[in-house]
Amino acid sequence: MRAHVLFGVTAAVATIVLAGCGADSSDTNTPTATLGSEGGQVEIGNTINYSSIGTTTELDCADGKSLNIGGNNNKLTVKGTCANANIGGADNTVTIERIDKGLSVVGFNNTVTYKQGDPKISDTGSGNKISKG
């Protein structure tokens, strides 16, 4: 029960704090939320907010959405082109197909690999590994 409460609080905070991160997608759908065994995903405007603990899953930035990731011990594969990606939490392994504008890693011991793009990189966390490959 405690994990569900922690998850709910984490997702809500991520949604409120990070929802304003810019994206360039023309997708203007109304906000959607998906909660399940593979974590929680809230999409507001063109920003995907994802949070979970210990999951392996695939996310999709489509063509220019922004992405905020929170949680711990996740293995995430991100398809499509992200305008911006913000990685928080700890011990996450994130592989992103393409990032165009910015990559910010604020968590701890995260491994982030992006395959394409030339984003401005900011690593204000600790023990993070960021690479293009």
> In which domain, by residue range, is 71 found?
2-132
Environment class of 16 (CB within 10 Å of its CB; exposed 0-12, middle 13-18, buried 19+): exposed
Least confident piece of the model among 1-15, 63-77, 94-108:
1-15
Q: How confident is the model at residue 7 (pLDDT cuts 50, 70, 90)?
A: very low
CB distance 8 to 70 below 8 Å: no
Least confident piece of the model among 36-50, 86-100, 113-127:
36-50
Identify the residue with better confidence: 27 or 54. 54
Query: How many domains is the chain partitioned into structurally?
Result: 1
| Residues 6+ positions from 16 with CB-CB distance below 8 Å | none
How large is the average pLDDT for residues 106-112?
97
Q: What is the pLDDT of residues 62-78, one digit of tens each?
A: 999 999 999 999 999 99
pLDDT > 50? residue 117: yes
